[in-house]
Chain A
Amino acid sequence: MVERKTESLRDAYGQALVELGERDPTLVVLDADLSGSTRTALFGKRFPERFFNVGVMEPTMMTIASGLALGGRTVYASTFAVFAAGQAYNTVRQSVCYNRANVKIVATHGGLLVGGDGGTHQMLEDIALMRSLPGMTVVVPADGPSTRAATLAIAAFEGPAYVRLTRENLPVVTDGTFTLGRAGQLREGSDLTIVAIGAMLGRALDVAEELHQAGVEARVLDFASIKPADEKALIRAARETGAILTMEEHNVLTGLGTLVASATATTYPVPVRQVGVPDLFGESGDPWKLLDHYGLSQKRALDEAWALLQLRGKVS
């Protein structure tokens, strides 16, 4: 495994917010009693008059955010993913998306890597929920630099967005650029494509490196821009590599894997295998051990990669 520097996505988000606040004197930020964890406190300290910590009322945080945005402001609202996408779902749906309010929801603590807090707090369905909302942009950055870039990128258009961040520090794997609707290619290859998001992107690169040692070249795509999705990159991957492995920290029924499968099926169907959380809730545990326990291990991904290569007749 390659040793990589790790960084906090949440710190990158908080710092980017301060940057945005300096740039746009009308921008406001809301939080729901988790400002230390989400790092919106950095903005709150710098711009206290433009920071509203509403306490434990996530659904109403979204309605208040909408009211602020309809006056012409850009509004960021943060809490944990389970509260932003789960607890507040219908206010995000009506007050934010149906109203087309310029509210940017940046949710931390997505996925199993929440660890000790357990299954109630490990949000594994948020991509499905947020991606189904008309007009919603959905982004899942994989590291600190791309978190900063994504935080800035969603400020550049008017309309709602949902960004899912991971609690754990993650290895820096991207070059820190992010373009909406564009998949980032981190590794070239023609035998197989691995499409990954969030914490799984680092693992995807490790899998690709192991395959390389065995003489197999895997293309690796960073699919941070879930919606809009770079369908062209997926179809190119299908055409040029013939098989796709997806890796995500989300319920496999409704996440990245199903997106990739349906995007390719209509135009250039190839076998798609998923590494992700089975249709289950999580549980308490050491964050990284939880990933392995729920089938998101590097070994499991490697097994799936070999299975795909066998299906395509690339190995015997």
Chain B
Amino acid sequence: MTYHAGSGHPGGSLSVTDLVTALVFHELRIDPEHPDWPDRDRLVLSKGHAAPALYSALAHRGFFDPKILPSLRELGSPLQGHVDHRKLPAVEASTGCLGQGIGMAVGMALDARLAKRPSRVYAIIGDGECQAGLTWEALMAGGHYALDNMVVLLDRNGLETDGKTEDLMGIEPIADKFRAFRYDTLEIDGHDFSAIIGALSHARASKGHPTAIVARTVKGKGVSFMENKHAWHGKAPNREEAERALAELGGSL
């Protein structure tokens, strides 16, 4: 998709793909036949630049035709560079500027609680995003309101646009920070499906506080020449690179 678009964020899309897949295909109570079902669960991709990961999952889950996936970032396409729920209603919240999706998730979780709806709300945040003050404001609100219908998943790939998070502005000890903000906090391998699913079912049973899942991931996961390279945060592959990458992932252009 990013090859066709000529720009985009392959690294952070690949690191979060397993988390998104586990959510969209296993955890979320959503129905492509009834996308407006009020009691559905909500997924907010606060790191909105990982749009390709979410678009792929939603398309293959039946929310829209996968044939439009190559139109990512094209004029007139519903597949905006950062996820946009007005253009693509299967997406729950338009995000992009970091630190905002998590607050929207807090609002959605409060809404569900007030309306006594069973909906659960999942927010995926990036680790560079954890440098933003907004993230901590929203996390504080989730903890204060004891939103046990909300789960925050951190895609902890360790890299951001300009390099390693810990070199730029360190966020560790990140799990302790979530705990201090009143989150039931788990640390898992974000590419181990049984660990992801186990953590999500733990969160479902956890009452009286929100859950945070620190998912240790690999930026560019699954593509040997992209893995752990911050240069692939915001750069699209050329044709040869895209072919090599898809061959490694078991696909083709």
CB atoms of A70 and B108 under 8 A apart: yes
CB-CB < 8 A to B100: which residues of A? 63, 90-91, 94-95
Interface string of B104-135 (1 = CB under 8 A from A): 11111111101100000000000000000010
Contact yes or no, B111 A73, CB < 8 A: yes
Q: Say whether B111 contacts A63, CB under 8 Å.
A: no
In chain B, what residue has the closest Cβ to A59?
A: B134
Tell me whether A64 and B86 are in contact in the complex, defined as CB-CB below 8 angstroms, given that A73-B111, A94-B97 are known contacts: no
- Chain A interface size, under 10 / 10 to 19 / 20 to 34 / 35 or more: 20 to 34
Stretch with Cβ within 8 A of A (4 or more), from B88-96, B191-199, B226-234? B88-96
Task: For A26, list chain B residues within 8 Å (CB).
Answer: 115
Number of A-B contacts (CB under 8 A): 94
Q: Which residues of B contact A64 (CB under 8 A)?
A: 103-104, 106-107, 110, 138, 141
Q: Give the distance in Å from the alpha carbon of A276 to the alpha carbon of B101 in the complex.
A: 38
Interface status of B242 (Cβ within 8 A of chain A): no
Do A60 and B134 form a contact, CB below 8 Å, given A28-B114, A99-B85, A99-B94?
yes
- Cβ of B28 within 8 Å of any chain A Cβ, yes or no, is no
- Minimum CB–CB distance from A204 to chain B (whole Å) comes to 39
Question: Are B93 and A99 closer than 8 Å at their CB atoms?
Answer: yes
Is A313 positioned at the interface, with any CB of B under 8 Å from its CB?
no
Residue pair A63, B108 in contact (C-beta under 8 Å)? no
- The answer, yes or no, to whether A50 is at the interface (CB within 8 Å) is yes
* Interfacial chain B residues near A71, Cβ < 8 Å: 38, 107-108, 111-112, 115
Q: Tell me which of B84, B103, B109 contacts A95 (CB under 8 A).
A: B103
Report A63-96 residues with CB < 8 Å from chain B CB.
63-73, 90-91, 93-95
Q: Indicate if the CB atoms of A63 and B94 lie closer than 8 Å.
A: no
- B137 at the A interface (CB under 8 A): yes
Asked if A57 contacts B104 (CB within 8 A), the reply is no
B69 at the interface (CB under 8 A from A): no
Most chain A beta carbons < 10 A, residue from B94, B101, B103: B103
Residues of B within 8 Å of A68, CB to CB, are: 107-108, 110-111
Kindly state whether residue A54 has any CB partner on chain B within 8 Å: yes
Report the bound CA distance from A95 to B100 in whole Å: 7
Once bound together, how far apart are the Cα atoms of A304 and B147, in whole Å?
58
User: A63 to B138, Cβ gap below 8 A?
Assistant: yes
Closest B residue, CB atoms, query A57: B137
Q: How far is the CA of A70 from the CA of B91 in the complex (A)?
A: 12
**Chain B residues touching A, range:** 20 to 34
Chain B residue at minimal CB-CB distance from A64: B107
Nearest chain B CB to A145's CB is how many angstroms away? 32
Query: Is B174 part of the binding interface, using a Cβ–Cβ cutoff of 8 Å?
Result: no
- A98 close to B94 (CB less than 8 A): yes
User: Is the C-beta of A187 less than 8 angstroms from some C-beta in chain B?
Assistant: no
Q: Is the CB–CB distance between A57 and B107 below 8 Å?
A: no
Is B140 an interface residue when CB atoms closer than 8 A count as contact?
yes
* Interface presence of A312 (CB below 8 A): no
Smallest beta-carbon distance B124→chain A, Å: 15
Are A94 and B94 touching (Cβ within 8 A)? yes
- Nearest CB of chain A from residue B169's CB, rounded to whole Å: 19
- Select which of B109, B110, B112 is within 8 A of A52 by beta carbon: B110
Q: Give every chain A residue within 8 A of B44 (Cβ-Cβ).
A: 67
| Cα A65 to Cα B100 with chains together (Å) | 11
Inter-chain CA distance A35–B104, complex, in Å, is 22
Bits for A1-32, please: 1 = Cβ < 8 Å to B, else 0.
00000000000000000000000001010000
CB distance from B217 to the nearest CB of A (A): 25
Q: Which residue of B lies closest to A73 (CB)?
A: B111
Whether A100 is near chain B, meaning CB under 8 Å from some CB there, is yes
Chain A residues whose CB sits within 8 angstroms of the CB of B105 once the complex forms: 67
Cα distance A120–B102 in the bound complex, in angstroms? 29
A60-B103 CB under 8 A given contacts A94-B95, A99-B85: yes
A175 within 8 A of B: no
Binding site for A on B (CB under 8 A): 38, 44, 84-86, 92-97, 100-112, 114-115, 134, 137-138, 140-141
17 A-B pairs in the complex with CB atoms less than 8 angstroms apart:
A60-B103, A60-B134, A63-B134, A63-B138, A64-B103, A64-B106, A64-B141, A67-B105, A67-B106, A69-B107, A70-B85, A70-B107, A71-B111, A94-B97, A94-B100, A98-B84, A99-B94
Please list the residues of chain A having a beta carbon within 8 angstroms of any beta carbon in chain B.
Answer: 26, 28, 49-50, 52, 54, 57, 59-60, 62-73, 90-91, 93-95, 98-100
Q: A60-B103, A66-B103, A93-B97 are in contact. List 13 more A-B contacts (CB 8 A).
A: A28-B114, A52-B110, A60-B106, A60-B138, A63-B101, A64-B138, A64-B141, A66-B107, A67-B109, A68-B107, A70-B93, A94-B96, A99-B93
Closest 4 CB pairs of A and B: A67-B107, A63-B103, A71-B111, A60-B137
